[in-house]
Amino acid sequence: MNAGEGFFAPPGASRVLAARWQDGASEGVSELVAEELPVALVYNGISHAVMLATPRDLEDFAVGFSLAERIVRDARDIYDIDVDEAAHGIAIEIRIASGAMMRLKETRRARLGRTGCGLCGIESLDWFDGDDLDARAVPDTRFPPEALHRAMAALAARQELHHATGAVHAAGWADASGELLCVREDVGRHNALDKLVGALLRAKIDTAAGFAVVTSRASFEMVQKAARAGFPLLAAISAPTALAVQLAGQAGVTLAGFVRGGRHVIYSHPQRLAPEAV
């Protein structure tokens, strides 16, 4: 029996009937697939964004997204979160401080997020400004190189939804030794990182005391989210983009790519990954 068979379906997955072809023969099977629903983020009664996301850990998503989009500057500006089923998806009702709401109204832009897009819905190129990071101060925390591989190996073992469906990304947070302490999954790599940030903030964990690992490429927006969350290091299993490398350098974030098979490549601020680090 493979991962898609049987009766158990983890949160964020559902069953569908399918036809499997193998060795010249076809058979009817029950397969697990990742759920992907429109999720509306509504601030003080005003709909701001609709993202396609996996419907799990949505309170974490609301907090992480709000920080990454600079809607709030601190999790304390979020007073309440309600997750409700809507006609065609899910609505997350978020109550935020009046000052944050004023900033949101000034910069509000309607956008439809997609799982492979980082800048959907922006109104002009003026918004796209790599210098406008508003990042938290990133400390010069040091990590042993082995910590990256310990965390990435643990992340592969902790992807419950991906093991069941083969269709989602994961983001994890590890301490300085590489012990993986928090994992979030989603069909969108950006969403998975938002959920991770939200989970850490809600648990009042110091994001700067460890680093993030992701099962995707490191794009501009992934680095931007890491910088705004205060991660000193972002480690990706795949490659970065040129713009991501540039932004990581500007933001003071150590960016590592191709973290797999006992090797990795450091693209910015290599001083944080020292063999003698403890």
Whether 117 sits among the annotated catalytic residues: the reply is yes
Catalytic residue among 37, 75, 117, 176: 117
Own/partner pairs for 5-10, CB < 8 Å, 24+ apart? Answer: 5/29, 5/30, 5/31, 9/164, 10/160, 10/161, 10/164
Cα 101 to Cα 71: distance, rounded to the nearest angstrom: 8
Cα 228 to Cα 197: distance, rounded to the nearest angstrom: 10
Cα maximum dimension of the chain: 64
Cα 271 to Cα 29: distance, rounded to the nearest angstrom: 51
Cross-strand partners of 170 = 185
Question: CB neighbours (10 Å) of residue 36?
Answer: 18
Q: How many Å from the N-terminal Cα to the C-terminal Cα in the chain?
A: 43
How many angstroms separate the Cα of 84 from the Cα of each of 81, 93, 101, 180? 10, 8, 21, 31
Q: Residue-wise over 247-256: b if at least 16 C-beta within 10 A, else e?
A: bbeebbbbbb
Return the SS3 of 150. helix
Cα 202 to Cα 193: distance, rounded to the nearest angstrom: 14
Active site residues: 117
